[in-house]
Amino acid sequence: METRELRYFVAVAQERHFGRAAQRLGIAQPPLSRAIAQLERRLGVTLLERTSRAVTLTEAGAVLLREGRAALDAVEAAERRTRRAATGGPSLVLVTKAGASSELLAKLLDAYAAEPGAVAIDVQLCGVGEQEGLLRDGRADVALLHLPYDSAVGFDTEVLHTEGQVAVLPAGHPLTTRPHLTMAEVAAIPDLPMPRWPRRDGSYPDGPGPEVRDNAQLLQLIGLGRTTAVLPESVRASLQRDLATVPVPDAPTVTTLIAWPPHSRSRALAGLVLAATRL
Amino acid sequence: METRELRYFVAVAQERHFGRAAQRLGIAQPPLSRAIAQLERRLGVTLLERTSRAVTLTEAGAVLLREGRAALDAVEAAERRTRRAATGGPSLVLVTKAGASSELLAKLLDAYAAEPGAVAIDVQLCGVGEQEGLLRDGRADVALLHLPYDSAVGFDTEVLHTEGQVAVLPAGHPLTTRPHLTMAEVAAIPDLPMPRWPRRDGSYPDGPGPEVRDNAQLLQLIGLGRTTAVLPESVRASLQRDLATVPVPDAPTVTTLIAWPPHSRSRALAGLVLAATRL
DNA sequence: AGGATTGATACCCGGCGGGTATCGCCGCGT
DNA sequence: ACGCGGCGATACCCGCCGGGTATCAATCCT
């Protein structure tokens, strides 16, 4: 099976429409129809049920969509990492959520830079939930993840840090005088609806709260009195003076992990992981 | 990057010889040379250093070999699982080491079969260390692994069982009267050298012991008085009468895991994992 | 009933993958 | 030192296949 065939199939399977898929792929519709038919013939498997009105996936088609996306990510990762290995640029790209673990990250980078043989590390900040994709398709080599917010499924990891969570409120809010709060109390604060985070596909659920992509945006919106949130206590290190925090003992404990694709143990990565575990 | 290009490059990188690689691929040498050159041109990266006497990998070439093999496995897995999803055959292939965890496996299969909506499960037995490859390239969907013998890197897992280990000796051997043994004592038994296991590439280290591929072979050789071994205590359930066991308290504890590729949560697999955790 | 939408089919063309023949380079043997 | 042999690169040709346009066929919506 060639990656071209896989790309074509994934496009059709996602769009559920040959014409739109062809447009997205930058080719005409007839060659696409033919390519899919040929793929089905070669596999000996019907992947799509087409009527002239709708295209639906068969069970086997659903399997190929799921597995094929992972395979295409792997191919893309191979290509990107090869290109990066050659163009002597940063030999390691670390990705983490904007506005999270900044203190830990600074310590990690300092500790690694002090090691003999340390290479340049590119730090890339992204929105919540984007790390996995970046790591999977080779745009990044290593990530800081936060359980239970992120999922570490399919990666190698080491635990770096665990911590409780605190509610972040605008300074002067009446509840800032309380010694602690419960999750239920925070969720019920009048006029401060909880923010809405993007789903895996990038869309946002409905609700009263503001849409946010990362912690930096979130903290700014809290300062503006538009929302509130329960975050790991380490955010206190990077708070402006207009924000206050109150412990939330019944919030789930947050575990910070360093994560990397399981098979890619380069020398540089091994050094960084070692430095991280010694923090 | 097309999978054909990747396959060609991997062949050359492994053989370090264009002629042999071409032969292995079933094509002539000139098209192979051209394909590699074209790949390098498209990537903008030199992958191989060739003199007319030797072919060596550049750093980028080493990266592409490592990442490319993983990517090819992923593509192959997508193809195999798609084909299997269509040809209504066994909808789940479970792989485990021959001669290991047989009791646990029987219980698991019984428990799962009793669930509503259970599908046919194919059990495949393999040699030590072969499970990972089978799982990675789609020949199997789920495996029983044994830490610390196997590596669970890159898979999702659930712990099923932990146990100590015992030395397995021919019945009547003088040491079978001892209440327990140490690792050092077992390794030093005169005339019973420890067996040699295959390395990742399939070759065997040098040494006096017999070559073995799985526990079934191993147990037979022990019965013949050719070797001895330290194995999880659950092997006692499947021993012939010509074998005896002695606990080895200082051997590492063995953990039995059920493992599966992280992204492939089919309905059938989820049911099997659930049944396994409830054992 | 008829037009619109959408996937399949028919047919053509150009490029690319694969083949054979041969060259150029280098190490080695006598 | 010269020549031979091994190996990768180059040159050139052919046939297939991927991509394009034109059109058909089936279905749904007025």
Do B125 and B98 form a contact (C-beta atoms < 8 A)? yes
Q: How far is the CA of B13 from the C1' of D5 (A)?
A: 24
- As given in the structure block, the two tokens for residue B195 are 């067996």
B139-157: per-residue pLDDT in tens?
999 999 998 988 888 899 9
**Neighboring chain A residues of B262 at a CB cutoff of 8 Å:** 153-154
The CATH number given to whatever domain includes residue A169 is 3.40.190
- In chain B, how many domains are there? 3
Relative orientation angle of helices A59-86 and B29-43, to the nearest 10 degrees: 80
Mean pLDDT to the nearest integer, B161-178: 89
Q: How far is the CA of A48 from the C1' of C11 (A)?
A: 26
For chain B, give the number of residues.
279
d(CA A210, CA A208): 7
Contact A60 B266 (CB under 8 A): no
> What residue is closest to D26 (Cα–C1')?
A52
d(CA B144, CA B119): 18
Same domain, B151 and B258: yes
d(CA B120, CA B127): 23
Cβ-proximal residues to B278 (8 Å cutoff; 6+ apart), any chain: B111
Domain carrying residue A13: 3-84
Cα dihedral B224, B230, B234, B237, rounded to 10, equals 20
Q: How far is the CA of A39 from the C1' of C12 (A)?
A: 23
d(CA B160, CA A104): 35
Give the DSSP H or E segment for A223: helix A215-223
Residue A48's nearest nucleotide, by CA–C1', is C7
Cβ-proximal residues to A208 (8 Å cutoff; 6+ apart), any chain: A193
Same domain, A34 and A143: no
- Cβ neighbour number for residue A5 with a 10 Å cutoff: 18
Same domain, B75 and B188: no
Q: Which of A75, A81, A92, A139 to mutate to test the interface with B (most CBs of B within 10 A)?
A: A75
pLDDT given at position B89: 67
State which residue of chain A sits closest to B61, comparing Cα positions: A82
Buried-exposed string A195-231: b where 16+ CB fall within 10 A, e elsewhere: bbbbeeeeeeeeeebbebbbbbbbbebbbeebbbbbb
Residue B54's nearest nucleotide, by CA–C1', is D7
Same domain, B243 and B258: no
A159-211: per-residue pLDDT in tens?
999 999 999 988 888 888 899 999 998 888 878 888 888 887 778 888 888 88
Domain endpoint, select from B41, B56, B84: B84
Name the burial class of residue B155, with classes exposed (0-12), middle (13-18) and buried (19+) by CB atoms within 10 angstroms of its CB.
buried
Same domain, B266 and B145: yes
Choose among A44, A66, A71: nearest Cβ to B75: A71
Contact A86 B60 (CB under 8 A): yes
d(CA B185, CA B230): 11
d(CA A9, CA A55): 12
Nucleotides in chain C near protein beta carbons (<7 Å): 5-11, 17-22, 24-27
Same domain, A226 and A216: yes
Which residues are in reach of strand C, CB within 7 A?
A 17-19, 29-30, 33-34, 36-37, 50, 52-53, 55; B 4, 26-28, 30-31, 34-35, 38, 51-53
The CATH number given to whatever domain includes residue B46 is 1.10.10.10
pLDDT given at position A89: 67
Same domain, B53 and B117: no
Query: What percentage of chain B exceeds 70 in pLDDT?
Result: 99
d(CA B93, CA B97): 13
Phi, psi of A123 (to 5 degrees): -100, 125
Q: Nearest Cα to A48, choosing from A60, A66, A38?
A: A60
Same domain, B142 and B125: yes
Domain endpoint, select from A84, A99, A128: A84
The CATH number given to whatever domain includes residue A130 is 3.40.190.10
Same domain, A146 and A272: yes
d(CA A36, CA B97): 39
Mean pLDDT to the nearest integer, B11-32: 91
Domain endpoint, select from A84, A99, A130: A84
Same domain, A195 and A158: no
Do B159 and B101 form a contact (C-beta atoms < 8 A)? no
Same domain, B143 and B26: no
Residue B198 pLDDT more than 90? no
Q: How far is the CA of A87 from the C1' of C26 (A)?
A: 31
Contact B47 A82 (CB under 8 A): yes
d(CA B77, CA A8): 18
Same domain, A26 and A50: yes
